[in-house]
C-alpha cells in the first residue's frame, strides 16, 4: 500500500533522526557564522548548542507526528534553557534566530528527502505542502512560547532589580561615615549579585583637594565580603594604591562610564570570570570606583546587571558625597571652634584651673560650647562657660563673637548680671544679622537659633567671695574642702536672646581650696538618663578625691560621657586660692588734701615690709595722683588698698560714680596731668564700678622703670 503524504513525512523524519548529529553540526556551523555573539563564552556556547540539538530532535519528532496530531508544543527543556540563557545575557532575538535557523535546515533536509522516498510527484507535492504548513505552525508556536518565557524572565528580573534598588536606599548611607557607607555598598552587593566587591575613593577627594595631575591615587575604603579571607596581595583598608594603566578601574575613572569585563582580575581579588567596573559619581564629580566580581556564580554579568550596579552605585555615591561634605564641614567647624577657644590660661593667682572641650559625635555637628578664664582687676578672676544653640560653622562663629563680647565686657568690670544683660543684646543683634544675610541658604542654621546660655562667675581671692549670674538652666557645682559637694543655685535667667526676665546675681563665700565646676548641659544630659540624674552623678564624682584637676576632668568625662554624645561639652574646674591679710593693706582716708602725704608714707612703709623698695617712688607718685583725684572730684568715704600679688595693685575707692577720663593737658593748664602720669607709670589702669561708688586702680610691675614723661 502506498504511503500517505503524512506517512511520507514521518518516514523522512525517521531517516533524518539517524543523522541528527550531522544535522546539529550543520546548524551550529551556520549559527557560528551568522550569530557569532552567541558563542563568545564557552559555557554559553555549550548550553546554546545543547538547546539547538534538543530542539532539532524535538522538531524531527514533532514533525513526524505533526500531520496526524496537529499539536505542536515547545519542549519543557527549551523553556528552562531559555530562562537560563536569558540570565547569561543572550537576547531573545538571538535564541529565536537560532531556532528558526534550525527549522530552516530541518525543513530543507526533509524536503530534499521526500523525492528520494517516493516516485509519486503528486504525493511528494502534497507531503511538501503539509510539511511547510506544519513547520510554519511549529516555528510560530516556538516563537510565541519563547517570547512568553523571555518576557516572564524579564519581568522577574525587573521586579528583582526594583527590590534591590529599594533595599539599597535603606541599607546604604545610614550614617555620615564615609568608610561605613562604602562598606554598606560592598555588603549589599555581596549579599545579592557579586562574590567579591571592592570600593576605592580618590584620595584627593577625601582630602577635599582638586584633582591632581598624573595617575589617580585611590584609597581602599571597603571590601566585601567583610569577613572573608583576604588574598596575600590584598589591599588593606585605608591603604593607598594606583590602578594599573588600562585596568577596568582606571578606565572607569578616566571615562566616567561603567563597563563589563570577562576573565578580569584586580589586585587582591581572585580571578573572576565576569566583572563590572562602575565609577562613583555625584554632583558632577567622580569620587572613586566600585568593582563587582563573580567567581563561584556561573552566570555572566549582562546589561541589566550593569544597570543595577549603576543605580546602586549612584545611590552610594550620593551618600558618600554627603558624608564627605559633612566630614569636611565638621572638620572646618572643629578647627574654627578650637581656634576660638582659649589656647592657654592667662596667669592669675585667684584659682587653679583645668578645662576640657569635647565636640559632639560624628553624627552631630560641632556646637558652640565655650569656656574662658579672664583675669580682672583687684586680683579677681572671671570664670565663664557658654553654649550657643545649634551646630555647625555658624554656631562656632557665633560662639567666637560671644566669647569676644564677654571678654570686652569683662574688661570694663561689669557686674555679672549687667554683663549678661549686655551680652543678651549682642545675641539678639547677631541673630538679626544672620536672619537678614542675603547669602544664607534657605533653612540654614542662622547663628544659634536665636539663643545661647552662659554662666558668668567672678571670684575674689581677697574676700574669698564668688559672685555668679546665669542665663539658662545649668547650675554650677562646688566641692568644699571637707568633701561636701553641692550645687550652687543662682536665680536662673532666660537664655540669651530670648529676653523677658532680668538677670540676677548670687554671692557665696568659698573657703580656700574649694572646687568649682562649671559646665554646659551636654555633660549631664544623655539619652539614658535625665539632667537630675546627671547632676547627682556629677556631685558624687566630684566628692571623690583626685590627684589633680586634670585627672578630675578626665574622671568626670569618662563617668558621665564615656562616648561621644549628640551635644558638645565644655567643662571648667577651678580650685580657689586666697590672698591672706599679709598680702593686703587697707587705709581709710579723710577727704582732706593733707592726707596725701600720710598716704605716701604709709605706702612706703608697706612696700618696705613686702620687700618692694624698688617700686617705692613709682607707687608714691601713683597713689598721690589717685588719692588727690578722689579727694578733689569724688565723695567720702575714701579708701586706699594695696594688694601684693604677681604685681603690685594700687586701688583708691570713693562713693562717687563719676568715671575719670584720660585727657591731654594743654601747655598752660595747671591740672589734668594726673591720670596721664598714672597711665605712663602703670602697666595697666582702669575704673570699676560697684553698687555704690567706684574704684580706680593701677597695676605696677616690680620690674618697671620710671619712664621719660612728656606733658607738653
- Residue range 299-347, pLDDT digits in tens: 788 888 888 999 999 999 999 999 888 888 878 877 888 888 888 888 8
pLDDT at 277: 94
CB atoms within 10 A of CB 307: 12
Residue 710 has pLDDT above 60, yes or no: no
**Picking from 387-391, 431-435, 467-471, which range would have the lowest pLDDT averaged per residue?**
431-435
Residue 97 has pLDDT above 80, yes or no: no
Query: How far apart are the two ends of the chain, measured CA to CA in Å?
Result: 152
- Over residues 469-486, the pLDDT tens digits come to 999 877 888 887 667 788
Using pLDDT thresholds of 50, 70 and 90, give the confidence band for residue 467: very high
CB atoms within 10 A of CB 458: 26
Radius of gyration of the chain (CA): 45
Q: Is 654 exposed, middle or buried (0-12, 13-18, 19+ CB in 10 A)?
A: buried
**Section 45-66 average pLDDT:** 60
Kindly state the cell numbers that stand for 201. Answer: 575613593
**Section 619-628 average pLDDT:** 92
pLDDT at 127: 74
**For residues 656 and 658, what is the distance between their CA atoms, to the nearest angstrom?**
6
**Picking from 48-52, 61-65, 236-240, 384-388, which range would have the lowest pLDDT averaged per residue?**
61-65
**For residues 457 and 344, what is the distance between their CA atoms, to the nearest angstrom?**
19
Q: Among 62, 149, 154, 155, which residue's Cα sits nearest to residue 110?
A: 62
Q: Among 420, 406, 447, 405, which residue's Cα sits nearest to residue 501?
A: 420
| Greater model confidence, 184 or 136 | 184
pLDDT at 67: 45
**For residues 369 and 673, what is the distance between their CA atoms, to the nearest angstrom?**
45
pTM equals 0.67
Using pLDDT thresholds of 50, 70 and 90, give the confidence band for residue 418: very high
CB atoms within 10 A of CB 703: 9
Using pLDDT thresholds of 50, 70 and 90, give the confidence band for residue 659: confident
| Greater model confidence, 598 or 84 | 598
Residue 93 has pLDDT above 70, yes or no: no
- Over residues 516-563, the pLDDT tens digits come to 999 988 888 765 556 778 888 888 888 887 778 999 999 988 888 776
Kindly state the cell numbers that stand for 678. Answer: 598714672
Peptide bond into 711 cis (omega under 30): no
pLDDT at 499: 73
Residue 455 has pLDDT above 60, yes or no: yes
pLDDT at 442: 46
CB atoms within 10 A of CB 613: 11
pLDDT at 233: 57
| Greater model confidence, 368 or 441 | 368
Residue 356 has pLDDT above 60, yes or no: yes
Residue 148 has pLDDT above 70, yes or no: no
pLDDT at 702: 65
Amino acid at each position: 500500500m502506498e504511503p500517505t503524504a503524512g506517512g511520507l513525512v514521518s518516514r523522512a523524519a525517521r531517516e533524518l533522526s539517524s543523522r541528527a548529529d550531522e544535522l546539529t553540526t550543520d546548524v551550529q556551523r551556520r549559527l557560528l557564522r551568522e550569530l557569532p555573539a552567541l558563542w563568545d563564552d564557552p559555557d554559553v556556547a555549550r548550553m546554546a548548542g545543547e538547546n539547538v540539538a534538543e530542539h532539532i530532535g524535538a522538531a524531527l519528532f514533532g514533525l513526524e507526528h505533526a500531520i496526524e496530531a496537529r499539536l505542536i508544543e515547545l519542549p519543557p527543556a527549551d523553556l528552562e534553557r531559555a530562562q537560563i540563557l536569558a540570565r547569561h545575557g543572550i537576547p531573545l532575538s538571538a535564541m529565536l534566530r537560532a531556532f528558526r535557523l534550525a527549522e530552516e535546515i530541518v525543513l530543507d533536509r526533509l524536503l530534499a528527502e521526500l523525492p528520494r522516498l517516493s516516485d509519486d510527484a503528486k504525493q511528494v507535492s502534497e507531503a511538501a505542502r503539509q510539511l511547510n504548513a506544519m513547520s510554519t505552525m511549529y516555528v510560530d508556536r516556538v516563537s510565541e512560547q519563547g517570547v512568553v518565557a523571555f518576557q516572564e524572565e524579564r519581568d522577574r528580573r525587573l521586579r528583582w532589580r526594583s527590590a534591590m534598588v529599594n533595599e539599597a536606599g535603606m541599607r546604604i548611607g545610614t550614617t555620615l561615615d564615609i568608610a561605613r557607607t562604602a562598606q554598606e555598598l560592598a555588603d549589599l552587593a555581596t549579599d545579592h549579585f557579586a562574590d567579591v566587591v571592592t570600593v576605592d575613593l580618590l584620595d584627593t577627594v577625601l582630602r577635599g583637594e582638586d584633582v591632581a595631575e598624573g595617575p589617580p591615587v585611590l584609597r581602599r575604603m571597603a571590601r566585601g565580603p567583610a569577613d572573608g579571607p583576604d588574598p596575600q596581595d590584598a589591599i588593606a583598608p585605608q591603604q593607598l594604591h594606583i590602578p594599573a594603566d588600562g585596568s577596568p578601574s582606571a578606565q572607569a575613572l578616566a571615562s566616567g562610564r561603567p563597563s563589563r569585563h570577562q576573565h578580569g582580575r584586580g589586585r587582591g581579588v581572585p580571578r573572576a570570570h565576569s566583572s563590572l567596573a562602575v565609577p562613583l559619581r555625584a554632583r558632577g564629580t567622580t569620587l572613586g570606583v566600585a568593582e563587582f566580581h563573580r567567581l563561584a556564580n556561573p552566570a555572566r554579568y549582562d546589561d541589566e546587571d550593569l544597570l543595577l550596579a549603576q543605580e546602586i552605585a549612584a545611590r552610594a555615591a550620593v551618600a558618600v558625597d554627603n558624608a564627605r561634605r559633612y566630614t569636611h564641614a565638621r572638620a572646618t567647624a572643629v578647627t574654627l571652634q578650637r581656634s576660638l577657644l582659649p589656647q592657654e590660661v592667662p596667669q592669675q593667682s585667684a584659682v587653679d584651673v583645668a578645662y576640657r572641650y569635647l565636640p559632639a559625635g560624628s553624627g552631630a555637628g560641632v556646637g558652640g560650647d565655650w569656656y574662658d578664664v579672664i583675669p580682672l582687676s583687684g586680683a579677681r578672676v572671671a570664670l565663664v562657660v557658654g553654649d550657643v544653640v545649634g551646630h555647625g560653622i555658624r554656631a562656632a562663629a557665633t560662639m567666637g563673637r560671644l566669647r569676644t563680647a564677654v571678654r570686652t565686657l569683662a574688661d570694663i568690670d561689669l557686674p555679672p548680671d549687667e554683663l549678661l544683660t549686655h551680652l543678651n543684646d549682642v545675641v539678639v543683634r547677631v541673630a538679626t544679622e544672620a536672619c537678614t544675610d542675603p547669602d544664607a541658604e534657605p533653612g540654614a542654621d542662622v547663628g544659634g537659633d536665636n539663643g545661647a546660655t552662659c554662666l558668668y562667675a567672678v571670684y575674689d581671692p581677697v574676700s574669698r567671695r564668688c559672685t555668679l549670674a546665669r542665663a539658662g538652666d545649668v547650675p554650677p557645682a562646688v566641692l568644699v574642702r571637707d568633701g561636701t559637694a553641692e550645687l550652687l543655685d543662682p536665680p536662673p535667667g532666660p537664655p540669651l536672646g530670648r529676653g523677658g526676665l532680668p538677670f540676677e546675681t548670687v554671692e557665696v563665700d568659698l573657703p580656700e581650696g574649694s572646687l568649682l565646676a562649671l559646665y554646659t548641659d551636654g555633660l549631664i544630659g544623655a539619652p539614658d538618663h535625665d539632667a537630675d540624674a546627671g547632676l547627682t552623678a556629677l556631685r558624687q564624682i566630684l566628692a571623690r578625691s583626685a590627684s589633680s584637676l586634670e585627672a578630675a576632668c578626665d574622671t568626670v568625662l569618662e563617668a558621665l560621657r564615656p562616648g561621644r554624645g549628640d551635644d558638645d561639652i565644655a567643662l571648667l574646674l577651678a580650685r580657689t586660692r586666697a590672698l591672706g591679710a599679709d598680702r593686703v593693706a587697707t587705709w581709710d582716708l579723710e577727704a582732706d588734701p593733707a592726707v596725701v602725704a600720710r598716704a605716701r608714707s604709709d605706702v612706703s612703709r608697706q612696700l618696705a615690709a613686702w620687700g618692694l623698695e624698688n617700686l617705692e617712688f613709682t607707687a608714691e607718685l601713683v597713689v598721690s595722683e589717685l588719692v588727690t583725684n578722689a579727694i578733689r572730684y569724688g565723695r567720702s568715704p575714701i579708701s586706699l588698698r594695696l594688694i601684693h600679688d604677681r604685681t603690685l595693685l594700687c586701688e583708691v575707692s570713693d562713693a562717687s560714680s563719676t568715671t575719670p577720663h584720660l585727657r591731654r593737658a594743654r601747655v598752660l593748664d595747671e591740672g589734668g596731668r594726673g591720670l596721664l602720669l598714672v597711665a605712663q607709670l602703670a602697666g595697666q589702669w582702669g575704673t570699676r564700678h560697684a553698687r555704690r561708688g567706684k574704684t580706680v586702680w593701677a597695676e605696677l610691675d616690680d620690674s618697671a622703670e620710671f619712664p621719660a614723661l612728656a606733658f607738653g
